[in-house]
Structure 1
């Protein structure tokens, strides 16, 4: 190794499972093993792994890192967790089970109309040709309309069991845009009747899925009826996604039942207690037991501390992110930090402008950066972050705190070294535990959810809409 190359600084993007971290090195490590030790120390990884890097000579294809000299000064390295044969055997037990029923959210742009049955497509093709030639709409038979609505309902259910009225209208609009022969001459929009029909069809389709045993809609059965007038109203306490959850209440994986999943849960508890945890095995078991966990959380709503006793793996940062991905199908830390970086300059400008207009810049900063009591009262705290500092630290901004603890329902549940990571984990746990946003922090969490993460961003409160308008001016 030349002395010149060894003294040059390096910038690495380290990718591990579902997150990525930036790592700056003052000089090139002496070997690949030395780099592994540095990554273990800097990123606090306590398991063995090997490294692969994206080789620019092969269009970014992954290459195993054997010689440190092969690594570019600015590189992307991927961590590949090592597993012994027994761990692999244990992991393979769960390889056939997938607890995720949905893999994508409702489309943010135009709704993609599905391809209908062959005979339906032929009739629509002829109808569209006639409409283009003579501006004449297709005369629908009862069977044809049923087939169209059934296919649309099935496609919509693949995204959401309970789509909103706006989303149903989006699907109806896309239908007549793709097949103009289906436009309604007596409708102002051309698709109002289709919207109403789809609303009723979705209700019928949910009934069909409930009879088939789909847990997501079965959870809302057993309401008030003619034979049970004492039960709650059919429109009250509906358990359905309200914050863009993709997999809200999935069914058990094929071949699994509550008893078998409970045994896996107990195995997870024992694995988490070990000094050297098998993280890939834990993640695989958490994936398999996801439906059991969601059923407990959504249907029973136990206290947070009780949930974490049942599922201690949710105290692991990577598992919080994995759980968020299971629920939302989104990489939480990557999306959060990317959007925060994009909006941060404008956010700082807006804050300075607002503070200067009121003439209370110093007071505003003091309010944001104020010191809290060294022994704060946690009783009654729904969610929050507790900063623990050294006794001699008197700075209003704590760049190197001892730790940042996530507080939920008055209990410290997990601690992290950085404030930003603690906030992201707290947000992920709110989704994982199916918690409501605390009223005083609703705008903060809705800003994170709807503006930074783009989840259910269609309708914003007035304050957030104004802020988003200001942010979008310079994006």
Structure 2
């Protein structure tokens, strides 16, 4: 549920009502659909943080991506088959290596932080019925594939909140993740408990927001990346 709403287009009375009633995201989107456009999300994020959402995220991914991949490889065997598969698929890529490395750095983050990647990175074929796939998904990136065996070529990336798609037709995983974070931050939605450290790392390391209050796990990751 939306716990607070800070967008300038909402009247003070409407903001107060939203804060008291805590409506579902779908209700807010139905009433103010323009607020869920990528441009509006970026503008609102800049207004409350003075940071460029996509620019800062992509720059940080370029900066920290190599370090993250190095950390993943250093303890590859300690994170189970999922991390091994992720890195093996990265090693098999022969084109657009930079994009694949960024994608692997993002996909590996919750694995490294020992959280459930299935809760944030979802996928299905374009022929699958969507509703059962999204059921119960509170916060996620949903990728639609032409071929389940080839996740590197996706037809669409979509942002999912409270079991529904709120933004789609993202060109890549990193853009979808940036807008997902931007929505959570702008709408003041609590990070899901099962992905607390992943989003906390994005907030404190990628965007340098509220770093003094982060957990020891996130602080440890930041130290490893900076030194």
Tell me whether the two structures share a fold, i.e. TM-score over 0.5: yes
Q: Is structure 2 residue 146 aligned with structure 1 residue 383? A: no
Shift of 1:385: 1.1
SS in 2 for 1:458: helix
Shift of 1:394: 4.0
What pairs up with 1:202-213 in 2 under 5 angstroms? Answer: none
Which residue matches 2:179?
Answer: 425
Which residue matches 1:404?
Answer: 157
Which residue matches 2:85?
Answer: 366
Asked if 1 retains the 8 angstrom alpha-carbon contact of 2:42 and 2:52, the reply is yes
Q: Is structure 2 residue 198 aligned with structure 1 residue 444? A: yes
- TM-score normalized by the length of structure 2: 0.71
Unpaired runs of at least 5, structure 1: 1-238, 241-247, 250-285
Shift of 1:340: 1.7
Asked if 1 retains the 8 angstrom alpha-carbon contact of 2:124 and 2:143, the reply is no
What pairs up with 1:274-423 in 2 under 5 angstroms? Answer: 287-289=8-10, 291=12, 294-356=15-77, 358=78, 363-366=82-85, 372-374=123-125, 375=128, 377-390=133-146, 393-398=147-152, 400-415=153-168, 416-423=170-177
Q: CA RMSD in A?
A: 2.8
Shift of 1:294: 4.1
Which residue matches 1:160?
Answer: none
Shift of 1:325: 1.8
Asked if 1 retains the 8 angstrom alpha-carbon contact of 2:137 and 2:160, the reply is yes
Residue 328 to residue 381, structure 1, CA distance change in 2 (3 Å): same
Q: Which has the higher contact order (CA 8 A, sep 6+)?
A: 2
Asked if 2 retains the 8 angstrom alpha-carbon contact of 1:335 and 1:452, the reply is yes
Residue 322 to residue 441, structure 1, CA distance change in 2 (3 Å): same
CA distance in 1: counterparts of 2:9 and 2:79, whole angstroms: 56
Shift of 1:366: 2.6
Asked if 2 retains the 8 angstrom alpha-carbon contact of 1:324 and 1:428, the reply is yes
Q: Greater helix share, 1 or 2?
A: 2
Unpaired runs of at least 5, structure 2: 87-106, 109-117
Moved over 6 A (4+): none
- TM-score normalized by the length of structure 1: 0.36
CA distance in 1: counterparts of 2:145 and 2:22, whole angstroms: 34
Shift of 1:329: 2.7
SS in 2 for 1:436: coil
What pairs up with 1:15-26 in 2 under 5 angstroms? Answer: none
Which residue matches 1:464?
Answer: 218
